[in-house]
Amino acid sequence: MMIASGIVGLDAVLNGGFLTGRTTVVSGGTGSGKTVLASQFLRTGAVDHGEPGLMILFEESPATVAAHFPGGGWPPAGEQHAALHFIDGRLPEDTVQSGTFDVGGLIAIATSLAKTHGVKRLAIDGIDALFATVTDLQVRRRELTRLLDWLAVSGLTAVLTVKTGVADEPPTYFDLAEFAADGVIALDSTMIGELQRRTLRVVKMRGSSFISGAHPYVIGEVGIRVLYAPTRTRWLAQADETRLSTGVERLDLMLQGGYRVGTTTLVSGTPGAAKTTLAAAFLDAGVRAGERCLYVGFDEPAEQVVADAHSVGIVLDDALRSGLLQAESYTAAALIAEEHYLAIEGLIVGNSPSRVVIDSASSLDKAGGSQIGDAIRERLVVLMKSRGITALFTAAAEANMLNGNLARARIATICDAWIQVGFSSEYGERNRTLVVLKARGTGHSNQIRELLLSSSGIDLADVYTSPGDVLSGTARVQREQQIAAQREIESERASDDLAWLDRERDKLARSLEDMQRRLAQMADDRAGLLERVKSGGKARARDTREIRSQRYEDPNPGSADG
């Protein structure tokens, strides 16, 4: 039995929520959001489930905690809710201690309130502060045990927060609590450059399955939000053959009509190669079709992008004014990629666009590096898939993630299609080029096209690639290298796709085996049941005859088998 934690993402990680009627210990350092988590747990109970709650505070005053309650303070304005009771557990400042004490008062008060007010959820926040004056480790452990023993029989679903990482405390101080509690959640924090990255880890949840590992989370106005990505298999079910115009006629032709609806296309290239221009064309086509569009830019004002698009005859100003196109820009390095993700998710949930541009997705590496960036890009792709959004991600070729071989970069694997734009220099000319490197489920040309930008729009032109073409000197060598590089990329792409296909095939084969086994079992069961239905009373008569014959004619019942 699970009880909703009220924390976005955590219930999914916990496969439903906290264990009903049991205690979950939440440990973390100062400012890790322990109180916020406990508050969300109580708030959800009181507001969403009509369950009265009790919060016993050992570190902060009830007034402070209530004022900073997630969702704009407690009590919530204009919402129906059950009562929350707050108890200030802090010892008054001039309290003197003589000898050891126990937590009898806490237990007596909580028991009484639970009975008289029907309290279902209990949060005990900062119990370590109460024991700060107790130097005897034995006493601390004894009282923690007393508390946990009582909680175990109280019927209350409880969250007990404890502070970790206090310098003058032995590190094993709360081992006992963590050992004795049914659930333990650890809140961790690491610094990446100048940015703090928070992760949540379920250490244990007795008798329940949960998703292990460190889950990134952020603390915002509504409280803690845990980033939880659904598994990959779910987004394969979304395949759709509908095409959305790329905004470039010749590119539509190359891609059998355009980008597949609900897929994500990567447009990579060097600076100035027209990545953002292709993105603008994609948005323009969407706006013309009356679709809601979202542009998310990093490190360049969205207004600038819209203004720049004028140079290729793309006018998005009206759509921006009417709100059909929403455009937002962020400073990439100012927030950890996970917070950018949540901002983007917020825009998508709030505006339900059918086309989204992330320009550039590689900017997500600026704060936190490519490992977190990759994870977030993957989450973004999953988010787009899960909402049927057709997306275009741009990626700068000079960014860290694209060092070495782009074909190996995670982003190239997770996107459904990949278009590369760049420059070719021949005979003293520098021309823009475009090539479709990958397009899942789409027949496409492997030829490099020349990308032509003019005030009347974007166009593609064929380039000479036939063997009869006369190329000499540097241009020939360059062409040969280009072809070799292209083959290498294609071969790597093919091996990536092959590995992916193999995994999918194995997965399917396993589930097929499983289904066949179940089918065979079902057939067996059915035959048995059918037999029983048919024979009915006849069988009983026969059994009686058999028993009689055994009794009178065969003195050894053991030999009657078979």
Binding site for another protein (CB under 8 A): 56, 87-89, 91-92, 94-109, 111-113, 130
**Nearer residue to another protein within complex by CB, 130 or 162:** 130
- CB of 123 closer than 8 Å to CB of 5: no
CB of residue 119 to another protein, shortest distance in Å: 13
CB atoms within 10 A of CB 39: 27
CB of residue 127 to another protein, shortest distance in Å: 10
- What whole-number distance in Å separates Cα of residue 90 and Cα of residue 124? 12
- What whole-number distance in Å separates Cα of residue 494 and Cα of residue 504? 15
CB atoms within 10 A of CB 456: 9
Specify the pairing of strand 390-396 against strand 264-269: parallel
Tokens read off for 360? 């550039």
**Nearer residue to another protein within complex by CB, 102 or 546:** 102
CB of residue 156 to another protein, shortest distance in Å: 15
CB of residue 160 to another protein, shortest distance in Å: 14
CB of residue 221 to another protein, shortest distance in Å: 31
292 three-state secondary structure: coil
**Nearer residue to another protein within complex by CB, 103 or 376:** 103
Q: Which residues of 47-61 are buried (b: 16+ CB within 10 A; e: fewer)?
A: beeebbbbbbbbbbe
CB of residue 342 to another protein, shortest distance in Å: 38
CB of residue 94 to another protein, shortest distance in Å: 6
Alpha carbon of 24 to those of 6, 129, 194, 337, 346: distances in Å? 14, 18, 32, 29, 30
- What whole-number distance in Å separates Cα of residue 89 and Cα of residue 101? 14
**Nearer residue to another protein within complex by CB, 99 or 468:** 99
Question: What angle (nearest 5°) sits at the alpha carbon of residue 455, between those of residues 434 and 399?
Answer: 40
CB of residue 93 to another protein, shortest distance in Å: 10
Q: Is the peptide bond before 472 cis (omega within 30 degrees of 0)?
A: no
Alpha carbon of 303 to those of 273, 295, 297, 299, 346: distances in Å? 20, 11, 10, 12, 20
**Nearer residue to another protein within complex by CB, 23 or 326:** 23
- What whole-number distance in Å separates Cα of residue 133 and Cα of residue 394? 57
CB of residue 74 to another protein, shortest distance in Å: 19
Specify the pairing of strand 390-396 against strand 355-359: parallel
**Nearer residue to another protein within complex by CB, 95 or 455:** 95
CB of residue 95 to another protein, shortest distance in Å: 5
Check the CA dihedral 135-139-145-151 and report its sign.
Answer: negative
- What whole-number distance in Å separates Cα of residue 227 and Cα of residue 10? 8
**Nearer residue to another protein within complex by CB, 137 or 186:** 137
Question: What angle (nearest 5°) sits at the alpha carbon of residue 84, between those of residues 104 and 175?
Answer: 45
Backbone angles phi and psi of 197, in degrees to 5: -120, 125
**Nearer residue to another protein within complex by CB, 94 or 221:** 94
**Nearer residue to another protein within complex by CB, 57 or 280:** 57
**Nearer residue to another protein within complex by CB, 87 or 195:** 87
